[in-house]
A and B are shown apart, each in its own frame.
Chain A
């Protein structure tokens, strides 16, 4: 496999720069809250700067090759190297992780969740950023595994310390599920290593060698990776941690979880499981496809049953990731392109929805759908933004969400030659029904929360005791429209949703060469 090794320090810089910020912040006393926010934001901006420079230096004509490729010895005992590189598949996600971190930092400026302590909160966020970016650049299975795990503890603490009332339960569930998945994943990696003559954990090497593994063995190895990644995605039936984690996490945690962490799983499929073990992928694709479609329908029905706005958005994630997995399971260029696009689009849109939910919660101290109404009257700007995101999320053409869903469904019409056409056509029809359900639950959510008259509970100033039932009642009269930090944090996402909706080619052309190369093996 050809690689381009120019400027191979760039990715390491972009990945580890946040840790430099962490070191600085560790030396600053806890009470200097403003300074912490400044340092964290500057670090995140610096990282984003490196990311932008990476975008400008990326050779888009050779997007199928690993660029900025570096390969040095790391753990020679187990033949694992520090192998990093970026191609068209990882570039959008790598960059997205940087953008999301910056926006979340800006949002955190005046939204540090209870019990405060911005120092720890922001440090965890920077550590998360390193783990996320590292996962997308790793080209060695052990390195990938380490970065994949680095995000575990910061997220656990973010949910467990700054989360809602059920935070301890939710964080433990998140932790144990992920731990279980990654244990199986690691076993699969080791098995892969032994099955390929114990030479290297490097992904490019394994892509060359993996196809020679005996099919029966490969199916089992794939199973291990499947569970590890499926827990993270999360796919039905491994999804039950997600609604709890999302609902209980602080807004920032939910945004990062939705926008980036879930993608670590789908990315794992596209980067590792499928290219290394194509023979097993063909066997597993129907299973993945069926589970993906179950996820679409189940997630949508779950949404219809929710009383809590944040929980509803969480279930919609299950449905959306179902579309992504359906696209992947077709093993076609169209399908995987759609899946990759869907990942980014879901990151932008669902991230935005969680931002909105967080801001609503901050103002009303509740996300109970039945108690919210008339957002458009009380906070017209926030109400319109919520509407915009709901439209994007249900896949309205012209907005980014459309390009993740529609081609994914389309690709199921014509799956890879080795797959059963009738099965995937059935899946296609069911998935298409899923989009109708998506429209139903999102519009239903929007109607009930944004239309109508504001709930009298929140209009006057004399209802403190009524709000008190929902918890903290000190700021009940603090219902104001979108503030300046929210604008700064949200505008880039809103613009991106429109830009990618109108001109999806912007992203497709980056990913397509790499994806085409990836599915070549299935077209024979």
Chain B
């Protein structure tokens, strides 16, 4: 039998892989094995090593991302693109998002180490799952093929289902895991059905070939429309866009807070990345279908998310609904992505928004974790008087909330500005109408962000307990990274603005 296998493999020529281009994934994969092995051989009370190790693995994977970015486009396109036939591409767009996922993963590790170490269990497995999920995301950034997108998506989702259920002794934790799993699988199924239809119609899984093939017989067929809608619905679940959002608040509340941060930022961003890639590469001729559909998703997400966020008394649930509403803003540029000449600013807007939103929201969750260590409460009122006894945390939370509200000079303003500019660039009625809806929502959102700020600055401490908060050094590090990024991106938005060139993404398609 082995002989026959060998014989069959006889004319197999190993592809000339560009190991440099694939280095981030390789480092991550090796790191996952390493963490698992270390976890097997260290004693229970030394398991903190796994946390440190996971952090180093993520940073290690970040190094090749930087070197690839420094080397520039030619080397990457020449090797990575050709070998894998344009199905797995390392371009600027992929690199900035890989960097985003790795840094976000690193910040989540920093946020987790104290939380998971203190009295919890299965530290090693926790970090293995986290790293695996990040690997899926990193792969998602490069995927330009229906199959690799789907594989990356499952790769990042399945560990996330388990992480959501990490508080397994707690009924809310079980609810979170179960809900997330069932709805996630349901979404995957719908999406897969859409993909199979798309494959059936176009005969290819390569996005760049699907794009031109989608109207091959001159007009748009019903089945193509159905395929596009199904795929968008599948991702709408992943990014928790209204009306496919019901799972999010429960899952966010039940999961451990660092995982909530991870889901609401990194996992969500991965969904947006896939959707964006599809919209620009596979659906450029299907804009009549996806644009109105995403328009509805976007308008509903920001409005419903905001209105529900206004009524929350639990900070994590409020941030959950706020992240639904922010998701609506990220979808906004995609509602006009197919208009002539708008693609560039729409793509940039999405990329910039994802980066800024990641930094800001992770920071907000880091503060929530730090404060909850003392107050043991998730109520917004537990932030009362925070400024008086923990001024640093109070100011940081203010920075993050102000950034989420879009107040200059913090990152959020530029993200929102970019989104507005993209839809106004289009100059269509769809664009203007979504801009008006978004403008109203910006003001509504400011109301609930400012509620928390008022608690922090102006309300008395709820139980008069003003013992200072001891913030673990790992969370301090997470706060420094996120706050630094939030401010720097607001003052010098060009740092990320130069990434996400449309020609970069579609250029890969051209070859």
Contact = CB atoms under 8 A, between A and B. Distances in A.
Contacts of B492: 74
A234 interface: no
Interface centre among A73, A77, A180, A187 (most CB of B within 10 A): A77
B402 A153 contact: yes
B322 interface: no
Contact of B497 (A30, A75, A176, A180): A75
Interface in A155-188: 157, 160-161, 167-168, 171-172, 175-176, 179-180, 183, 186-187
Interface string B399-424: 00010000111000110011011001
A77 B398 contact: no
Interface string A137-162: 00000100110011011000100110
Contacts of A190: 420-421, 424
Contacts of B352: 77
A56 interface: no
B443 A78 contact: no
Interface string B436-449: 00010011001100
Given A153-B402, A179-B443, A187-B439, A76 B407 contact: no
Interface string A182-211: 010011001100100000000000000000
B466 interface: no
B38 interface: no
Contacts of A45: none
B153 to A, nearest CB: 29
Contacts of A396: none
A145 B457 CA distance: 26
A150 B494 contact: no
Contact of B398 (A145, A150, A152, A153): A153
Contact of B494 (A73, A146, A186, A194): A73
Given A160-B458, A167-B458, A176-B446, A152 B494 contact: no
A486 B476 CA distance: 42
Contacts of A75: 414, 493-494, 497
A120 B456 CA distance: 14
Contacts of A186: 417, 420
Interface in B383-400: 387-388, 391, 398
Given A75-B414, A75-B497, A176 B443 contact: yes
A120 B446 contact: no
A55 to B, nearest CB: 27
Nearest to A130: B409
B450 A172 contact: yes
A194 to B, nearest CB: 7
Given A78-B417, A78-B421, A175-B450, A183 B439 contact: yes
B179 interface: no
A127 to B, nearest CB: 10
A30 B391 contact: yes
Given A76-B497, A77-B494, A176-B446, A149 B439 contact: no
B76 interface: no
A77 B413 contact: no
B473 to A, nearest CB: 18
B418 A150 contact: no
B432 to A, nearest CB: 10
B439 A168 contact: no
A75 B494 CA distance: 5
B268 interface: no
Contacts of A30: 391
Contacts of B407: 149, 152-153
Contact of B498 (A76, A119, A149, A187): A76
B348 interface: yes
Nearest to B402: A153
A150 B487 CA distance: 12
Interface centre among B425, B442, B450 (most CB of A within 10 A): B450
B449 to A, nearest CB: 11
Nearest to A120: B391
B454 interface: yes
A194 B417 contact: no
A116 to B, nearest CB: 10
A contact patch SS: helix
A250 B178 CA distance: 53
B408 A150 contact: yes
Interface in A215-232: none
A160 B494 contact: no
B424 A76 contact: no
Interface in A402-454: none
B69 to A, nearest CB: 18
Contacts of B388: 115, 117
A176 B398 CA distance: 17
A145 B408 contact: yes
A60 B446 CA distance: 44
Interface string B84-104: 000000000000000000000
Contacts of B497: 75-78
Interface in B195-222: none
Given A149-B407, A180-B443, A168 B454 contact: yes
A180 B444 CA distance: 11
Nearest to B497: A77
Nearest to B427: A194
Interface in A484-513: none
B50 to A, nearest CB: 35
A300 B21 CA distance: 72
Contacts of B442: 183
B458 A77 contact: no
Interface in A355-397: none
B425 to A, nearest CB: 8
Nearest to A78: B421
Contacts of A179: 443, 446
B409 A146 contact: yes
B457 A161 contact: yes
Contacts of B391: 30, 119-120
A298 to B, nearest CB: 27
A489 to B, nearest CB: 27
A78 B407 CA distance: 18
Given A74-B494, A75-B497, A175-B450, A157 B421 contact: no
Contacts of B446: 175-176, 179
A11 to B, nearest CB: 17
A190 B498 CA distance: 21
Contact of A160 (B409, B420, B457): B457
Interface of A: 30, 73-78, 115, 117, 119-120, 142, 145-146, 149-150, 152-153, 157, 160-161, 167-168, 171-172, 175-176, 179-180, 183, 186-187, 190-191, 194
Given A78-B497, A186-B420, 6 more contacts: A149-B413, A161-B458, A175-B450, A176-B446, A179-B443, A183-B443
Interface of B: 345, 348, 352, 387-388, 391, 398, 402, 407-409, 413-414, 417-418, 420-421, 424-425, 427, 435, 439, 442-443, 446-447, 450, 454, 457-458, 492-494, 497-498
23 contacts: A74-B492, A76-B498, A77-B352, A77-B494, A78-B418, A115-B388, A146-B409, A146-B413, A149-B407, A150-B408, A153-B402, A160-B458, A167-B458, A168-B454, A172-B454, A176-B446, A179-B446, A183-B442, A183-B443, A187-B439, A190-B424, A194-B424, A194-B425
